Structure 1
Amino acid sequence: MEETLEYGTGKKRNVLKRLLAYAGPYWLWVAFSLILVLCITGLELYRPILVGQVIDEFITKKNFSGVRHIALIYLLVLLASFVCNFLQTWILSLTGQNIIYNIRQEVFEHIQKLSLRFFDITPVGRLVTRVTNDVEALNDMYANILVKMIKNVVKIIGLAVVMLSLNVRLSFYAFLLIPVIIALTSLFTHISRKTYRQVRTRLTAINTYLSEHLSGMKIIQIFVREKEKQKEFEEKSKDLLRANFREMMVFAIFRPSIYMLSVIAMVIIIGVGGSAVIKGAITIGTLYVFIQYIGSFFDPIQELSEQIGTLQSAMASAEKIFTILDEEPLVVKKESPTMLSAIRGRIEFDHVWFAYEEENWILKDVSFVIEPGQRAAFVGATGAGKSSILNLIGRYYDIQKGRITIDGVDIKDMDTDQLRGAIGQVQQEVFLFTGDIKSNIRLRNEEIAEEEIKSAARYVNADHFIEELNNTYEETVTERGSTLSAGQRQLLSFARTLAFDPAILVMDEATANIDTETEQLIQEALEKLMTGRTTIMVAHRLSTIQHADIIMVMHKGRLRESGTHQELLNQNGIYRKLYELQLQ
């Protein structure tokens, strides 16, 4: 899915305003940089005047002591320029990096607050591009572009003022080509804006493709689709190549055009100025100053145009970043939530209706109660709504109708951190992070002591394989835990859940990927785990939930049957059919 973002003039101004707001905390440093810019510009304008003065007042009169005096001043001006340039570059680089750091932190923090529905429909590669490439694209704007744009504007104005003060007629000839430059710059800015946006969009597309297909490389190789995927990648790579080529072509045409205009202007000045020197209307020193200024006059114009182009690139990245930051969480925390002293684990669904999109109902008028410490299981065909119930209990999605309560309190009124902290979830697909065994159990919660980590691992029999590893709990875990077996990863997820000591235990097909021997070890641990905890299980294999206190049968989004294993068999309904089907 390709992004298309077209911002109107008003929105562009809003984007720039928001970008400048990030520089607010550093306004003193920015102001000091602007003062340095004025000093640097003044010193640059002064240097040709010194040389012109040497030519007119000392060289023609063979006054070498005066030449030495001006040379010393020129050296001091160069030294002052060096110091000012160094300070300005250092201050702006430091300020820019701090701003970029703040933006990157804000973007990631905001992404973490977004609802799961956002991640259901947004490719991971696109989000990675936002946090890395797009944020980094703003660095040049803060560290260089904004202040240098001001510097170039001041320099252009300063050059024009000084040239007019020296000779109005010669200045008129120098400014003859300005309308052409303005028209060319306007065209360049318009075209570059489109090319920059295309580059950012194509880069996002290729990052998204890479993220998805590198994660699914095993499937690609299993089905021998390498050549086909290579062709797909080649097309996306060509799209990016073409976008980059168009961007380079814009600069390749614009830069020589501006240079050609500067050469034409120089020829005009030399011709008109040389004639004026011969006639005695101006001095050689004045002509020298004009020649130097006319060369300097077109440089900031070219730089300014290119900086506007870079600013357009930053704006294109900012538009995409602000699109993420403007994304509102679907699940919103209450400002003054109800805090429970302790969560016992009584769960009630009261006429709950839920859909991921519009009115495509996943759950339809579902009502049930699970008492504290009770073991409840949900069974049913794929798509019946079992996993959705688990997601709703932790309020990862909000329901459209009805009410869900924990210990009599509507979960919409509860603090989501307290709610989710009280629920331990064990998923069918276990996600492990890069790090080690210990960090994957603790998840950077330093309140969980090392002995608690080991105790949790012993409880779920994970210590059997951990102790056999070379570095035991310090053993390195690669991305997604690819060096561990499915059973080992699941045992670690059990240890992780137990370490956080939840009041409510949720298991979604927790033993689906585990061999029989490992499952027996887990079943032993589960008996200890479920004691004193409200436990909710989803399972396709009915043998794993036969001893549940209550089994609820879901069918097409509705709760059709409930009772114990034997009671449901006696009802001779959906559950009995599922049971007999599995026996066969």
Structure 2
Amino acid sequence: MTTKALAPSRKRDDEIEKKVADLLPKDDENSLGKAYDPRLMRRLLAFIGPYKRTMTAAIVLMIIGTVLSVVSPWVIGQAIDVGIKAQSLDSLYTWTIIFAVVSLGEWLSNRSRIHLLAIVGTGVVADVRSALFRHLQRLSLNFYNRYSVGRLMSRLISDVDVLQDFVTWSITGLTRATFSLVGITIAMLLLNWKLALVTFAVLPIMVIVTNYWRVRVRQAYRSTRERIALINGYLNESISGIRVTKSFVREAANGEHFDDLNRSYFNANTSAARLAATFFPAVDFMGSLATALVVGVGGWLVLGDNLTPGVLVAFVLYVSRFFDPILELAQRYNTFQSTMASSERMFALLDTEPDMLDAPNAQALPAVRGHVMFDHVSFGYADGEPVLRDVTLEAQPGETIALVGETGAGKSTIIRLLGRFFDVTDGAVLVDGHDIREVTQASLRQQLGIVLQDTFLFGGSITENIRYGRLDASDDDVVAAAKAVGAHKFIERMPEGYATDVGENGVNLSVGQRQILSFARALLADPRLLILDEATSSVDTTTERQIQAALDTLMRGRTSFVIAHRLSTITNASKIVVLDRGQISEMGTHAELLARRGRYYNLYTMQWSKGNGTIGE
């Protein structure tokens, strides 16, 4: 990075912070929340429940390790007084061996405790992440229209990772720190209450310094989290849109914007580091100050024969350990706050109920013949904004219904309602006489085959993508489906044939190839109802001819709803439905609608006559 980027003027820094502040979320997504919320803690402990025995063993080991840690200075003191001062070599050997055993026991207990807690922490993270993922699969499309992918990824990754640190370190860490602090305090008072009071004299200063750090570090850590979230989001957006960036020569402008985000993150980290540079050396200084006071007062007591050297050495060791649990308690306070905030966001997501639920008495839809009825259907994605108005449409088994109309006329909405991705506002959608709201969603969608305009392929082989809708299909079935839609030839030319990895979202294939594979996927699933949503819009004319025969085979004997701009996929439909502003303006065959010289005729003459072969753009 250039010197200018590393050290801009204070005025430039202020400008950057103002610009970044406008980009930060205005809700409480990154708020720290309460340091402790018993309601959230109970829900977190429910995930720890399956690991109760492992957690109990870790706590027992923590208690053993802490007790041994508290005993160690006293053992050293005894070695000095009973062995060295008394000039007893046997006693010195005995206490040395005792100290070695105590140290070994402390090491073994701490090692075993950390190992067990790592198992619990990793297990809890895996369980929570699985619960979130399974819940996301249940939520309706309406939820995903409102919730950004970035926020969901943050819940599944960042917030869940906070739990691992909490379970692995904070739960027993706080207990251990508290237990150690109490044990060391009792040991110090029992050894010499006067020196204990000398040590406690620095505590008021320690409390002031800790409170100063605790209050300010909250905002510092929050700022760093907010800004790294902005950086990650912008990186994701920039990489995903790199083609657009290069097309419009935006590299330099994007680089400057990223520099601003990076600089803001640098400033936030610098502020947090400055606080750490103040607090931790201050704690070390408090410990050194307390040690100096103890050595001074204790030395005076030793010279006056009111204190043994062994007790003084043990006391100095206790003082060096006294401030460690205080420091850990201060650090874990912020961990608790982050855990509570992350837990609140995660459980809010888990508590989100799907908009689309099966009715309590929903039955499985039996094998359908393919009779579909839209009975006076009205629908709107938002209140007061109707998309469909009193639509009545009937499709007999085996018929092909072509939906035509300008953008926003309601074509895609009709097929979304048929798949029950949304529920009608008024009226009903019936399949073989069954109101689809009264059957299970799974039994309905298992009999639907959907090919969308924006074809999505999953990372994996071509075979795995074709088999996606029918996992029990054999390799021969996969090849047969590919041959039927004209995909077999280009698949054979791929480096590894059917085993070729398509890449993320099919990046290793052309748009047309991805769409042809989506036809093979739909054909292999053998649905009774077929939906083609702009399915040939990205296929060139030559490729379209190759798959047109396969489409005819695919639609034969199935009730099909086709949304298409290309006239060739519409003219042979059993019925063409012309939509205008959410209402059916015309309905009939291609020849009938042309003879009427109505809206369909106008669309035909405006678009087809231009020679581009499209209608209803």
SS at 1:312 equivalent: helix
2:473 to 441, 448, 454: 448
Map residues 417-432 of structure 1 onto 2, 5 A cutoff: 417-432=442-457
Provide the C-alpha distance between the structure 1 equivalents of 2:222 and 2:424, rounded to a whole number of angstroms. Answer: 38
Which runs of no fewer than 5 residues in structure 1 stay unpaired?
A: none
Distance 1:532 1:224, change over 3 A: same
8 A contact 1:197–1:313 mirrored in 2: no
Tell which deviates more after alignment, 464-473 or 46-55: 464-473
2:76 to 48, 51, 70: 51
Q: What does residue 318 of structure 2 align with?
A: 293
Provide the C-alpha distance between the structure 1 equivalents of 2:221 and 2:35, rounded to a whole number of angstroms. Answer: 19
Distance 1:515 1:13, change over 3 A: same
Aligned residues: 584
Q: What does residue 245 of structure 1 align with?
A: 270
Q: What does residue 506 of structure 1 align with?
A: 531
Provide the C-alpha distance between the structure 2 equivalents of 1:334 and 1:176, rounded to a whole number of angstroms. Answer: 68
8 A contact 1:125–1:211 mirrored in 2: no
1:266 to 284, 288, 291: 291
2:441 is the counterpart of 1:416? yes
Q: What does residue 145 of structure 1 align with?
A: 170
Q: What does residue 231 of structure 1 align with?
A: 256
Distance 1:413 1:211, change over 3 A: farther
Provide the C-alpha distance between the structure 2 equivalents of 1:115 and 1:242, rounded to a whole number of angstroms. Answer: 41
Map residues 56-455 of structure 1 onto 2, 5 A cutoff: 56-443=81-468, 445-455=470-480
Q: Please state how far the C-alpha of 1:118 moved relative to its aligned partner.
A: 2.4
Q: Which amino acid aligns with 1:564?
A: T
2:537 is the counterpart of 1:516? no
SS at 1:476 equivalent: coil
Tell which deviates more after alignment, 416-425 or 402-411: 402-411
2:42 is the counterpart of 1:17? yes
SS at 2:181 equivalent: helix
Q: Please state how far the C-alpha of 1:509 moved relative to its aligned partner.
A: 0.9
Provide the C-alpha distance between the structure 1 equivalents of 2:336 and 2:125, rounded to a whole number of angstroms. Answer: 15
Q: What does residue 565 of structure 2 align with?
A: 540
Q: Please state how far the C-alpha of 1:562 moved relative to its aligned partner.
A: 1.1
Q: Please state how far the C-alpha of 1:356 moved relative to its aligned partner.
A: 2.0
Q: Please state how far the C-alpha of 1:467 moved relative to its aligned partner.
A: 1.8
Q: Please state how far the C-alpha of 1:291 moved relative to its aligned partner.
A: 0.8
Output one character per residue of 1:324-347: Cα deviation in whole Å (capped at 9) or x when no partner. Answer: 323332222334421122122222
8 A contact 1:34–1:147 mirrored in 2: yes
Distance 1:414 1:533, change over 3 A: same
Q: Which amino acid aligns with 2:433?
A: G
Distance 1:324 1:550, change over 3 A: same
Q: Please state how far the C-alpha of 1:11 moved relative to its aligned partner.
A: 8.2
Distance 1:185 1:14, change over 3 A: farther
Q: What does residue 18 of structure 2 align with?
A: none
SS at 1:280 equivalent: coil
Q: Please state how far the C-alpha of 1:493 moved relative to its aligned partner.
A: 0.5
Output one character per residue of 1:500-532: Cα deviation in whole Å (capped at 9) or x when no partner. Answer: 111111011111111111101111001111111
Q: Please state how far the C-alpha of 1:16 moved relative to its aligned partner.
A: 3.0
Output one character per residue of 1:379-427: Cα deviation in whole Å (capped at 9) or x when no partner. Answer: 1011111111111211112233322222222222221111112111111
Provide the C-alpha distance between the structure 1 equivalents of 2:264 and 2:341, rounded to a whole number of angstroms. Answer: 18
Q: What does residue 19 of structure 2 align with?
A: none
Distance 1:565 1:421, change over 3 A: same
2:518 is the counterpart of 1:474? no
Provide the C-alpha distance between the structure 1 equivalents of 2:502 and 2:95, rounded to a whole number of angstroms. Answer: 68
Q: Please state how far the C-alpha of 1:302 moved relative to its aligned partner.
A: 0.8
Q: Which amino acid aligns with 1:198?
A: S
Distance 1:198 1:402, change over 3 A: farther
Q: Please state how far the C-alpha of 1:228 moved relative to its aligned partner.
A: 2.2
Distance 1:59 1:150, change over 3 A: same
2:7 is the counterpart of 1:4? no
Q: Please state how far the C-alpha of 1:7 moved relative to its aligned partner.
A: 6.5
Provide the C-alpha distance between the structure 2 equivalents of 1:372 and 1:232, rounded to a whole number of angstroms. Answer: 57
Q: What does residue 614 of structure 2 align with?
A: none
Q: What does residue 14 of structure 2 align with?
A: none
Output one character per residue of 1:132-187: Cα deviation in whole Å (capped at 9) or x when no partner. Answer: 23322321111112111111100000011111112222212211232333343334
Provide the C-alpha distance between the structure 2 equivalents of 1:409 and 1:278, rounded to a whole number of angstroms. Answer: 98
Q: Which amino acid aligns with 2:522?
A: T
Provide the C-alpha distance between the structure 2 equivalents of 1:444 and 1:81, rounded to a whole number of angstroms. Answer: 56
Provide the C-alpha distance between the structure 2 equivalents of 1:58 and 1:444, rounded to a whole number of angstroms. Answer: 79
8 A contact 1:124–1:208 mirrored in 2: no
Q: Cα RMSD between the aligned structures?
A: 2.0
Q: Please state how far the C-alpha of 1:365 moved relative to its aligned partner.
A: 2.1
Q: What does residue 17 of structure 2 align with?
A: none
Distance 1:211 1:14, change over 3 A: farther
SS at 1:261 equivalent: helix
Output one character per residue of 1:562-582: Cα deviation in whole Å (capped at 9) or x when no partner. Answer: 111122222222111101101
Which runs of no fewer than 5 residues in structure 2 stay unpaired?
A: 1-23, 611-617
8 A contact 1:436–1:477 mirrored in 2: yes
SS at 1:232 equivalent: helix
Q: Please state how far the C-alpha of 1:487 moved relative to its aligned partner.
A: 1.6
Provide the C-alpha distance between the structure 2 equivalents of 1:573 and 1:183, rounded to a whole number of angstroms. Answer: 83
Q: Please state how far the C-alpha of 1:8 moved relative to its aligned partner.
A: 5.3
Provide the C-alpha distance between the structure 1 equivalents of 2:239 and 2:148, rounded to a whole number of angstroms. Answer: 13
Provide the C-alpha distance between the structure 1 equivalents of 2:431 and 2:291, rounded to a whole number of angstroms. Answer: 81
Q: Which amino acid aligns with 1:199?
A: T
Provide the C-alpha distance between the structure 2 equivalents of 1:94 and 1:396, rounded to a whole number of angstroms. Answer: 40
Distance 1:553 1:490, change over 3 A: same
Q: Please state how far the C-alpha of 1:10 moved relative to its aligned partner.
A: 9.4
Structure 1 length-normalised TM: 0.95
Q: Which amino acid aligns with 1:43?
A: L
SS at 1:241 equivalent: helix
SS at 1:4 equivalent: coil
Q: What does residue 530 of structure 1 align with?
A: 555
Provide the C-alpha distance between the structure 2 equivalents of 1:119 and 1:402, rounded to a whole number of angstroms. Answer: 25
Q: Which amino acid aligns with 1:140?
A: D
Q: Please state how far the C-alpha of 1:286 moved relative to its aligned partner.
A: 1.4
Provide the C-alpha distance between the structure 2 equivalents of 1:327 and 1:237, rounded to a whole number of angstroms. Answer: 34
Distance 1:250 1:347, change over 3 A: farther
Structure 2 length-normalised TM: 0.90
Provide the C-alpha distance between the structure 1 equivalents of 2:274 and 2:545, rounded to a whole number of angstroms. Answer: 66
Provide the C-alpha distance between the structure 2 equivalents of 1:361 and 1:233, rounded to a whole number of angstroms. Answer: 41
Tell which deviates more after alignment, 426-435 or 232-241: 232-241
Q: What does residue 489 of structure 2 align with?
A: 464
Q: What does residue 508 of structure 2 align with?
A: 483
